[in-house]
Structure 1
Amino acid sequence: MTTGDDIKTSAAALAAVLSGMRASVAFTGAGISTECGIPDFRSPGGLWTRNRPIDYQSFRASPEMRAEAWRRRFALEPALGGARPGRGHRALAGLLAQGRLQGIITQNIDGLHQASGVPDERLVELHGNSTYATCLDCGARYELGWVRAQFEEGQERAPDCPACAGPVKSAAISFGQPMPAEAMARAGALSGGCDVFLAIGSSLVVWPAAGFPVQAKRAGATLVIVNRESTEFDDLADLVINADIGDVFEAALAR
């Protein structure tokens, strides 16, 4: 395992890995979006310390909790709605366009990979997406503008689906909500068949998502972890870089 905090040293090591990638996978967490103005979720001052999400069962069971969930989601809009892709997002989109990445698995719900040019068919969103909503019963999609208009017109009452009267919820996965089976299957297939697995900006503590770098390593992939802080899997990795994601990817691609 190689570790390094110096940007030049780290960039050179990362550039060597990137140059040899042919069927690699990127796995991204909240750290890739912090330079975009989106605080992470778990650290002091993170989004959950100010807007703790409503769990799935409470959302399902209580109209009051559904209304509170939407109040909290709209409170996050200044942070989430105005964000634009950062250097890390753009770097991965470029690697994908060059054919060096076969896909991106993300824990993020901010939609910034799509905004950077990553097509939906090459992206696996393990925890869903908070930039739109769906009906929990029939699956119909609704844009946030429609939800907010209904919410405000109904005097802060959470809207129901016009098609089936089911509850309308942000498409992000809540605590207690089943993980999306299709996304998990796609992520497993990508992880088990890659030559390099890049874990970027993730603390690797949220399961089952944290199992994918382990799966990739066990299948013979080179495991690279790029994160500001250490993770529980650093000893398993072939290369660990504790540095700013945008800085190190920008320098590595410049080489």
Structure 2
Amino acid sequence: MTPTERLLGFIARHQRLFVLTGAGCSTGSGIPDYRDADGQWKRIQPVTYQAFIGDPATRQRYWARSLVGWRRFGLAQPNTTHHALAKLEAHGRVEVLLTQNVDGLHQAAGSTRVIDLHGRLDLVRCMGCAQPLLRTVFQNELVMLNPAWLGLDAQTAPDGDAHLEAVDFSSFTVPPCQYCGGVLKPDVVFFGENVPKVIVQAAYQHLDQADAVLIVGSSLMVYSGFRFVQAAAQAGKPLAAVNLGRTRADSLLTLKVEQSCEVTLKLLLECMQEEH
């Protein structure tokens, strides 16, 4: 029996899946991932919360890179992996889909039982008054204030910005919140920042209701996601993972399929379509 066939059997045996997804789900949509097959960083680590909040120059650098990177990131479309997981939900097999991604592609593919563990990049929020703002609206404001930057292009980074290096960011204008003058930040959890407790509690409640965990496209190197796998293992729930390379949970897994999400989930999608 192939690993994919074993995965199909795993899914068939468990009615309510707690699905945990990571960056590997979205590489097929043109959004790069963070880590290599051994779980190590492929590139410079993303900006930390402390640096973003505490240093105006860091905010200039972030938003300048984001202005360039958003043009591609904002156009990304769901791939086979997202569609297969949405179909799995439509078949009543998903207790919840907890995603570490910030791209909104699961929802775009039709999944509705989604918890965005690390927030959404298509929203901006004021750190002072908490007023939300659509990222598309903020993009227009950034472009209006910094038209010369629109001519730059660079490789897209995983968190929606771009790999602009050796550039002087000191002239880049970052507008404040129009309501209170506060600092505007993407509505995502930065490295060094805590996931809101209400989101963590909701995820644990769904984990209690699930009878197995399916990990798709995540090395689980970030503890904010790994803790749910730890809790599932302690509760005796079976764990399956689809991921290229090492995961932090390898010793806990019931089943591991070490191939790309798109290849594996494409077969899952085909099987579900044949059933109906």
TM-score in terms of structure 2 length: 0.81
Give runs of aligned pairs for residues 2-151 of structure 1, distance below 5 A: 9-43=2-36, 49=43, 52-119=45-112, 122-151=113-142
Kept in 1, the 8 Å contact 2:48–2:190? The answer is: yes
Deviation (angstroms), 1:220: 2.5
1:157 to 149, 156, 173: 173
Post-superposition Cα deviations, 1:41-70, rounded to whole Å, max 9, x if no partner, equal 2349x99727x5332222222332222111
Q: 3-state DSSP class of the match of 1:148? A: helix
Q: 3-state DSSP class of the match of 2:43? A: helix
Kept in 1, the 8 Å contact 2:115–2:203? The answer is: yes
Count of matched residue positions in the alignment of Structure 1 and Structure 2 = 244
Kept in 2, the 8 Å contact 1:24–1:195? The answer is: yes
Structure 1: tracts of 5 or more residues without a match: 1-7
2:257 to 209, 223, 241: 241
Once residues 145 and 208 of structure 1 are traced to their aligned partners in structure 2, the CA distance between those partners, rounded to angstroms, is: 28
Post-superposition Cα deviations, 1:178-228, rounded to whole Å, max 9, x if no partner, equal 222221111222223311100111011111321111211221211001101
Kept in 2, the 8 Å contact 1:195–1:220? The answer is: no
Which residue matches 1:220? 236
Counterpart AA for 1:235: S
Which residue matches 2:169? none
Deviation (angstroms), 1:151: 2.4
Runs of 4 or more, structure 1, over 6 Å off, are none
Once residues 230 and 151 of structure 1 are traced to their aligned partners in structure 2, the CA distance between those partners, rounded to angstroms, is: 39
Q: 3-state DSSP class of the match of 1:210? A: helix
Once residues 185 and 57 of structure 2 are traced to their aligned partners in structure 1, the CA distance between those partners, rounded to angstroms, is: 13
Counterpart AA for 1:17: F
Deviation (angstroms), 1:87: 1.0
Once residues 145 and 49 of structure 1 are traced to their aligned partners in structure 2, the CA distance between those partners, rounded to angstroms, is: 27
Deviation (angstroms), 1:37: 1.0
Counterpart AA for 1:77: W
Deviation (angstroms), 1:145: 2.5
Which residue matches 1:5? none
Kept in 2, the 8 Å contact 1:193–1:216? The answer is: no
Kept in 1, the 8 Å contact 2:226–2:248? The answer is: no
Kept in 2, the 8 Å contact 1:53–1:69? The answer is: no
Post-superposition Cα deviations, 1:61-106, rounded to whole Å, max 9, x if no partner, equal 2332222111122232244122111111111111112211011001
User: Which stretch shifts more, 229-238 or 99-108?
Assistant: 229-238
Once residues 41 and 125 of structure 1 are traced to their aligned partners in structure 2, the CA distance between those partners, rounded to angstroms, is: 18
User: Which stretch shifts more, 146-155 or 110-119?
Assistant: 146-155
- Match status 1:192 vs 2:183: no
1:174 to 179, 190, 205: 190
Kept in 2, the 8 Å contact 1:147–1:159? The answer is: no
CA pair 98-109 structure 1, distance change in 2 beyond 3 A: same
